[in-house]
Amino acid sequence: MKYKRILLKLSGEALMGDRQYGIDPKRLAEYADQIKSIHDKGVEIAIVIGGGNIFRGVAGASNGMDRVQGDYMGMLATIINAMALQGALEDAGMQTRLQTALKVEAIAEPYIKRRAVRHLEKGRIVIFGAGTGNPYFTTDTAAVLRGVEVNADVILKGTRVDGIYTADPEKDPAAKKYDNLTFEDVLNKGLNVMDTTAFTLSQENELPIIVFDMNKEGNLVKVCEGETVGTTVSV
C-alpha cells in the first residue's frame, strides 16, 4: 500500500444517500465495507466527518441564528454522524475509538493526540467528532489539523464527484478533470478544494490531498494503493 496512515474526510451529506436529510443505513454499510477493505490490508485509518446532513451552522446563521451557537449545534451534529459511522464499522467487525473535541464522556473519549496515535498503531479506527471544537472552523480544517497532528501520509477527501474539475461538472458538461495539481495551481486557478484555512494548513505542512468519488466501490482501495483515482493536490 502506498499510504500507511490516512485521514479520511467524509461530508455529512454523503451519509444521506438518496434521502433529503438524515442518515441512510445502506450508505453507512457501504462505507464500512470500503473502509474494512483497506483496514484488512494494514492501513491505519483516522476519520473526520461533517454534519451537514443534520445541521449546518452557516445556514443557521444566514437565517438569523447566532453564528457561534449555530456552529456548536453543527459540532453536535458531527458527533451524531460519528456515532452512526462507529456503529456501522463495528458491525463490520472493526475496532474503533471515537474522540471528540467537545467533552461528552458518556459516549466518547476527549481528543488526546498521543492516545489517538496509540489507537492507530494498535489497528483501531479513530473517528474524530465535533470538528476542532471551535466555532468559525469547518470540518475540512479539522480534518487537516488532525491529519497533521497524527502524522497522516495523506488527506483523502471522499465526495460524490470523482476529482477536481475546471468548473462544476454537475453544471458544466464541458468541465475537464485534473489528475494532478500543485497547491500553487489550485490557488492560481481559483479552484475550490477545501476552505482557505484548511487548504493553507495542508500546504504549509506539505500534506497532500486527494479528492475522489467515495461512492464508487473499490475507489478507496485504489487510492491507498497509489492508483490514479480522483485528483491529487501536492507540493
* Tens of pLDDT, residues 21-55: 899 999 999 999 999 999 999 999 999 999 999 99
Q: Any idea where the domains of the chain sit in the sequence? A: 5-234
Q: Tell me, what's the pLDDT at 192?
A: 86
Instruction: Take residue 224 and report the three cell numbers written for it.
Output: 491507498
Give the chain's residues under pLDDT 70: none
pLDDT at 109: 98
- Helix (H) or strand (E) segment spanning residue 6: strand 5-10
Supply the pLDDT for residue 91.
98
Q: Which cell numbers hold the place of 188?
A: 492560481
Distance CA 100, CA 219 (A): 28
CA atoms within 13 A on the CB side of 219: 22
- Whole-number pLDDT of residue 57: 78
Distance CA 104, CA 206 (A): 33
Residue 207: HSE in the Cβ half-sphere, 13 Å Cα cutoff: 27
Scan for cell 464541458, then name that residue: 174
Give the class (CATH, top level) of 5-234. alpha beta
The pLDDT value recorded for residue 60 is 80
**In this predicted structure, what is the pLDDT of residue 49?**
97
- Residue 96 pLDDT: 98
- Report the pLDDT value the prediction gives residue 56, as an integer from 0 to 100: 82
The per-residue pLDDT for range 173-182, each reduced to its tens digit, is 899 999 999 9
CA proximity to 201, closest of 21, 67, 7, 3: 7
Angle between helices 196-204 and 139-149 (to 10 degrees): 20
What's the pLDDT at 171?
87
CB atoms closer than 10 angstroms to residue 56:
19
